[in-house]
Amino acid sequence: MVSNRGSRPRSRGPSIEDVAGLAGVSAQTVSRVANEADNVRPATRERVLQAMDRLGYTPNRAARALRNGAFGSIGLIARTFARTGEALTTQSVVEAAEAQGYSVTLLAVREPEANGWRHAVQRLSHQAVDGLIIIRAEETTPESFLLPRGLPVAVSDSRFIGYYPDVGADQVQGTRDAVEYLLGLGHRTVHHLAGPADSEPAMTRNASWHRTLEGAGISPPAVWRGDWTAQSGYEAGREIVADASVTAVYVANDDMALGLLSAAHEAGRRVPEDLSVIGFDDIDLSRFAHPPLTTVRQDFDRAGRELVRLVLQQLAEPGSVRYDERVLLPTTLIVRGSTAPPPAP
């Protein structure tokens, strides 16, 4: 803690004592009114409420937190909140948390290495939040830092799976659906543009693609690899579209798939006539791509809700959630215009 804030406390607002004074009651009675206890005479309650209103009183959450040992806040740790997947998950976590009376405190991990994560956890952990949600922890492993004991944690799409309860889309089935759909259209094989090697969902999709092809008696070709961004999809795409033998590509997410589409246009390779493309996520814009993108939809909304549920359940009843519990959310193959049978040879 290097910063110097707090050296000159900012002007504090009215406290429970101020309200009590104005209303002519004790602080405890004010507390009771604030907490909606039922053993307060209506007349008294009214007087207190008016005093609160007049002073603009709001309970001091720090004091409450100190007293109760609870913060009313859930920590959310991620590398970034700007990418589609994270943004959607964040939004749904916020909504679900708020429905339960919790707010959400964000912390971005700046340095991808374990140190950054350690720092983030240090800052959020244990004392500032009642529980922790970790999404897309890609670059570090659970051994690299210790979380305070007893702090409820839930993770999504991260390498912490198996160490903490986890929520995630059914990557395996979603991938199989996509690959088998392409094979069903008549493609001889399906190529793969994967996500970064340190990402759990990327590797799971990669592995499932691999297994599905093998299951169909096809020897899997070499994979391309991107970093989830459209830019990386475009760059890999330039190589992919230059290879005329490629007729179908399963791309690990929609952003990269859209980048690939762009590369195809640029090279004059027609989608889906010459090349079929399937993405993963079903982000809003996929529907409006040219052509509209066939993709595997995952339910970010539900993921957020489940993450919050897992944390709050641990909070309510410690030990009620197994550390290796996995919530697998079904995916749906959304067929649009970017897939078709392979071109006649």
301: three-class secondary structure by DSSP: helix
Q: What is the smallest separation between the CB atom of 54 and DNA, expressed in angstroms?
A: 15
Residues 225, 257: contact at Cβ < 8 Å?
Answer: no
Residues 265, 310: contact at Cβ < 8 Å?
Answer: no
x/- map, 278-317, DNA, by CB under 7 A: ----------------------------------------
- Residue 2's binding partner out of a copy of itself, DNA, none, with CB under 5 to 8 Å set by partner kind: a copy of itself
> What residues contact residue 6 under an 8 Å CB cut-off, 6+ apart?
none
Residue whose CB is less far from DNA, 33 or 183: 33
- Residue 16's binding partner out of a copy of itself, DNA, none, with CB under 5 to 8 Å set by partner kind: DNA
Alpha-carbon span 191 to 326, nearest angstrom: 29
Using CA atoms, how far residue 136 sits from 88, 89, 271, in Å, is: 13, 10, 31
| Residues within window 47-86 making contact with DNA, judged by CB under 7 A | 59-60, 63-64, 66-69
x/- map, 207-246, a copy of itself, by CB under 8 A: ----------------------xxx-xx------------
Does 128 bind DNA (CB under 7 A)? Our answer is no
Residue indicated by tokens 């101020």? 18
- Residue 130's binding partner out of DNA, a copy of itself, none, with CB under 5 to 8 Å set by partner kind: a copy of itself
Does 73 bind a copy of itself (CB under 8 A)? Our answer is yes
> What residues contact residue 294 under an 8 Å CB cut-off, 6+ apart?
181, 276, 277, 278, 279, 333, 334, 335, 336, 337, 338, 339
> What residues contact residue 47 under an 8 Å CB cut-off, 6+ apart?
23, 24, 25
Does 157 bind a copy of itself (CB under 8 A)? Our answer is no
Residue whose CB is less far from a copy of itself, 6 or 42: 6
Alpha-carbon span 201 to 169, nearest angstrom: 9
Residue whose CB is less far from DNA, 71 or 181: 71
| Residues within window 161-200 making contact with a copy of itself, judged by CB under 8 A | none
- Residue 105's binding partner out of DNA, a copy of itself, none, with CB under 5 to 8 Å set by partner kind: a copy of itself
Please select the residue that binds a copy of itself; options are 26, 28, 100, 332, rule is CB under 8 A: 100
Residues 250, 182: contact at Cβ < 8 Å?
Answer: yes
Query: Could you tell me the end-to-end alpha-carbon distance of the chain, in angstroms, rounded to an integer?
Result: 66
Alpha-carbon span 188 to 179, nearest angstrom: 11
x/- map, 5-34, DNA, by CB under 7 A: -xx----x--xxx------xxxxxx-xx-x
- Residue 289's binding partner out of a copy of itself, DNA, none, with CB under 5 to 8 Å set by partner kind: a copy of itself
Q: Give the binding site for DNA (CB under 7 A).
A: 6-7, 12, 15-17, 24-29, 31-32, 34-35, 38-41, 43-44, 59-60, 63-64, 66-69
